[in-house]
Each structure stands twice: as C-alpha cells, then as structure tokens.
Amino acid sequence: MSTQEKQKTGQNTFGIAPYTETKGEEYMGAPMRAHFTKILSNWKQELMIGVDKTVDHMKDEAANFPDPADRASQEEEFALELRNRDRERKLIKKIDKTLQLIQDEEYGWCDACGVEIGLRRLEARPTADLCFDCKELAEKKEKQVGKG
C-alpha cells in the first residue's frame, strides 16, 4: 500500500492509524506507549523483511559476467544495495534504542530541553529524540558549522 493510499484509509506510513487522545489523558501513558511500540515493531519488521530480500536477491543475481561493463554494473548495483542496507541496519538499532526508552518509560521527551516532543511529531518520526524547536536549532547549528 502506498503512502497516499494509507493516508486515505487513515493509516500512517507504518500501517497504523494515528493515535487519538482522550480528554485528560496522561502524555505517554500506557496506551500511547503501546501505540508507539506497535508502530516501531511494525517498522522494524518491514526493515528486516527488506534485509532478507536483499540477501536473497544478491544470491540469486550473483553472476560472473565475462563482460567487464556488465560486471561493473552488477557490482555498482550491489554496492548501492549494501549502502541502503547499512542505513537500514543503523535505523534498526535506533528503533531498538527507542523501544527500550518506551519500556523504561522515558520515551516522548526531548533529550535537550526535557519538554514533550508531541504526538504528531512522534507519529511522523517515531524515533525522534528532540522536540521541534531543539531539532530546528540543531539543524541551524549544523549548517553554520558545515559552512565554516
């Protein structure tokens, strides 16, 4: 299902409907933590399936082409896939770290200033560890350092 199809059916990118707060509900109480645990677990499972597909694809497609151009194309394709899988491996580690924060009941608060990160930001990026303002400030500092 595409992202647009999920939005039409009321699902977020991870195949789960956005969390609906009840009036007076405690921020990051058990229901919210369970919701984000489900999102992160589904996301991790999708990534793990992708890893398995890559391994299978590389085994199936591995060939020793006599033509150097064909061999170079295949090696470049494999290198690109491996870079993507490395990014996904790092993301899986971040998801695991986030799942541990949920379990420890420390999820949902900004690492820099301690305020609530907010449900909508966490729905969009469940592994977020900074509130919007702190993230924006960090990105501005990063741009300034990068240009220096």
How far separated are the first and last CA of the chain, in Å rounded? 43
CATH number, position 82: 1.20.120.910
pLDDT of residue 45: 93
Least confident of 7-11, 20-24, 127-131: 7-11
pLDDT tens-digit map of 35-79: 999 999 999 999 988 877 777 767 666 666 777 787 788 888 888
Q: Chain-wide mean pLDDT for the chain? A: 85
Q: What is the pLDDT of residue 97?
A: 97
pLDDT at residue 18 greater than cutoff 60: yes
Structure confidence at residue 15 (pLDDT)? 77
Q: Is the pLDDT of residue 129 over 90?
A: yes
Picking from 2-11, 23-32, 111-120, 132-141, which range would have the lowest pLDDT averaged per residue?
2-11
Determine the Cα–Cα distance for residues 27 and 121; give it in Å rounded to an integer. Answer: 14
Give the per-residue pLDDT at 1.
45
Give the number of C-alpha atoms closer than 13 A to the C-alpha of residue 87, restricted to the C-beta side. Answer: 5
Helix (H) or strand (E) holding 101: helix 68-103
d(CA 13, CA 6): 7
* Contact yes or no for 12/6 (Cβ under 8 A): yes
Q: Note down the domain range covering 108.
A: 3-147
**Domains: count for the chain:** 1
